[in-house]
Amino acid sequence: MSDLPSIFGSTVATFAVVYSTATMVFVYTVARQHFPQHLVDGVEKYGRKLVNFAFPYSQITFPEFTDAYMRRSEAFTAIQNYLSEKSSASANRLKADALKDSRSLVLSMDYNEEIADEFDGIKVWWTSNRNIPRSMQISLYPAVDEKYYKLTFHNRHKKHIIESYLPKVMEDGKAIGQVNRLRKLYSNNPSKHWNGFNPKWSHVAFEHPASFDTLAMAAKRKDEIINDLNAFKEGKEDYERIGKPWKRGYLLSGPPGTGKSTMIAAMANYLQYDVYDLELTTIKDNTELRRLLIDTSSKSILVIEDIDCSLDIMNERESKKRKIKEDDDLDPISKEVKKETEETTESKVTLSGVLNCIDGLWSSCGGERIIVFTTNYPEKLDQALIRRGRMDKYIEMSYCCFEAFKVLAKNYLKIDSHLLFAEIGELLGKTNMTPADVAENLIPVFRDENVETRMNRLIEALKAAKEGEGEGEGASRPKEKRKRGCNIRINKREKRNIR
């Protein structure tokens, strides 16, 4: 029985335990009737020693449900994830479960299977089992099997198992669950609908296919962003050491169709994070904003798109001045009506409210969060928003360069090179066209449309855009805004502020 619990070992042990326990119960019952209390206590103490001698192993049970409301125990789920990898290698009979919020099947050992695990040279055994409900109680919840995992280990390792092994199992299990889980895209509900049944955020599965492989941009800039994300993800200890909340702010700017939203999706997929898409216009005031932000989880990206036009918060001071002047021109009744309309329809979220919430939230509610603001007009942004330490990285996305086109050609045409590439490259160097417009021309108009036709369509579109720009009329992009050569650039401020 030294290195034991296989099912057979357990059976022998169980027999030994049952036998010694039965003997003890008999002796104890007789002793209680005929002998004084101190002798009875002695019998009990030695009885326990005898049982321990016959089976010097401790067992911990982890039931699936924590309470009568059938809430799934976090520990059970973590163990299931932890054991899923080990059981698929060593257990003979496996069970496949489609866990809630998991995107793949989780394989776990079937009932009465046992697998051994080793930790710091200590052997432990996990078994899976279930209690079949026998009671006929009337309950709101249907009777279901109570599954449980049982961990068996030698008594002498109890402390180490409880203090070191089990926390490791929980941590590893949660990490596996994190990778397997179905990620979510949350959007905030209008506050008038918030109540016990309607939460602040609704969610759908986040299934955006964008990745850094399919994102059209220069490889060097792509690597730079990926390295930045890696440094953030692996930087927990660094952030702790310097006493900074574990968060990072990105500001994505660029004309419509340059890939800002696609970049956010690629980031979320790369980091395996959830996405919270915060619509500022539906939020009544700063208090509501704070309540929403506090209700977000870690390992997430909070996105505020088009920050410059979500609300008139950028030029708060300016708009206040304008409003006072406008109000002065109105008669008292119109003033009252205007005030009422504004009170019911206008959001009172302010820039300082957004900033305070963001800083306050990240500092107080756990870590591993990224916040991304997007804008088409970076020049409109208030300095307070983009000050050092608030927005850590500024990424300017701009029109399609040749390198970005090659990525799109690979995605859409499945080619790495072609004779027409040279002409396209030359035209892209002289014309402003967004990756979205380039992609649009590369999509087949009908099934099996050939590659040349699609590239020729792009060439025509580029020529037309160039002519448009030249004439000034109908020009797709203003000349002074041209940024060619690469669709991602870092400006001087970023170079200064960002590591």
Residues that bind ligand ATP (CB under 6 A): 215-217, 254, 256-262, 376, 435-436, 439
Binding window for Mg ion (CB under 5 A); candidates: 16-24, 146-154, 260-268, 277-285: 260-268
Residue 435 CB, shortest distance to ligand ATP, in Å, is 3
Work out whether 434 is an interface residue with Mg ion (CB under 5 A). no
Identify which range of 17-25, 80-88, 261-269, 398-406 contacts Mg ion by CB under 5 A: 261-269
- Residue 457 CB, nearest approach to ligand ATP (Å): 16
Least distance (Å) from ligand ATP to the CB of residue 407?
Answer: 7
Whether residue 198 contacts residue 102, with contact meaning beta carbons closer than 8 Å, is answered with no
Least distance from Mg ion to the Cβ atom of residue 263, Å: 9
Q: Which is nearer to ligand ATP, 80 or 258 (CB)?
A: 258
Q: In this structure, what token pair is assigned to residue 215?
A: 């994102």
Which residue lies nearer to ligand ATP by CB, 368 or 403?
403
Q: Are strands 393-397 and 247-253 parallel, antiparallel or unpaired?
A: parallel
Q: Which stretch binds Mg ion (CB under 5 A): 68-76, 92-100, 257-265, 460-468?
A: 257-265
Distance CA 236, CA 248 (A): 12
Residue 95: strand pairing partners:
108
Find which of ligand ATP, Mg ion, none residue 353 binds, CB within 5 to 8 Å per kind. none
Number of residue whose CB is nearest ligand ATP: 259
Nearer to Mg ion, 81 or 261 (CB): 261
Q: Report, in Å, the least distance between residue 434 CB and ligand ATP.
A: 6
Verify binding: residue 261, Mg ion, rule CB under 5 A. yes
Q: Site for Mg ion (CB under 5 A): how many residues?
A: 2
* Closest separation in Å from C-beta 349 to ligand ATP: 21
Residue 216 contact partner, candidates Mg ion, ligand ATP, none, CB within 5 to 8 A by sort of partner: ligand ATP
Smallest distance from the beta carbon of 484 to ligand ATP, in angstroms? 14
Closer residue to ligand ATP, CB minimum distance, 229 or 357? 229
Q: Which is nearer to ligand ATP, 151 or 225 (CB)?
A: 225
Candidates 126-134, 208-216, 259-267, 390-398 — which segment interacts with Mg ion by CB under 5 A? 259-267
Q: Which lies closer to ligand ATP via its Cβ, residue 80 or residue 375?
A: 375
Q: CB atoms < 10 A from the CB of 361, how many?
A: 21
Compute the residue count for the chain.
499
User: Of 127-135, 256-264, 427-435, 464-472, which part binds Mg ion (CB under 5 A)?
Assistant: 256-264
Nearer Cβ to Mg ion (260/299) = 260
Closer to ligand ATP by CB, 166 or 311: give it: 311
How would you write the chain as a 3-class SS string? CCCCCCHHHHHHHHHHHHHHHHHHHHHHHHHHHHCCHHHHHHHHHHHHHHHHHHCCEEEEEEECECCCCCCECHHHHHHHHHHHHHHHHHCCCEEEECCCCECCCEEEECCCCEEEEEECCEEEEEEEEEECCCCCCCCCCCCCCEEEEEEEEEHHHHHHHHHHHHHHHHHHHHHHHHHHECCEEEEECCHHHCCCCCCCEEEEECCCCCCCCCCCCCHHHHHHHHHHHHHHHCCHHHHHHHCCCCEEEEEEECCCCCCHHHHHHHHHHHHCCEEEECCHHHCCCHHHHHHHHHCCCCCEEEEECCHHHHCCCCCHHHHHHHHHHHHHCCCHHHHHHHHHHHHHHCCCCCHHHHHHHHHHHHHHCCCCEEEEEEECCHHHCCCCCCCCCCCCEEEEECCCCHHHHHHHHHHHHCCCCCCCHHHHHHHHHHCCCCHHHHHHHHCCCCCCCCHHHHHHHHHHHHHHHHHHHHHCCCCCCCHHHCCCCCCEECCHHHHHHCC
**Shortest gap between Cβ of 443 and ligand ATP (angstroms)?**
9
Question: Minimum distance from CB of 257 to Mg ion (Å)?
Answer: 8
Q: Binding partner of residue 217 among ligand ATP, Mg ion, none, CB under 5 to 8 Å per kind?
A: ligand ATP
Partner that binds at residue 435, options Mg ion, ligand ATP, none, CB closer than 5 to 8 Å by kind: ligand ATP
259 binds, among ligand ATP, Mg ion, none (CB under 5 to 8 A by kind): ligand ATP
Closest to 186 measured CA to CA, from 355, 104, 101, 302: 302
CB-nearer residue toward ligand ATP: 218 or 391: 218
Give the residue with the Cβ less far from Mg ion, 151 or 303: 303
**Interaction site with Mg ion (CB under 5 A):** 260-261
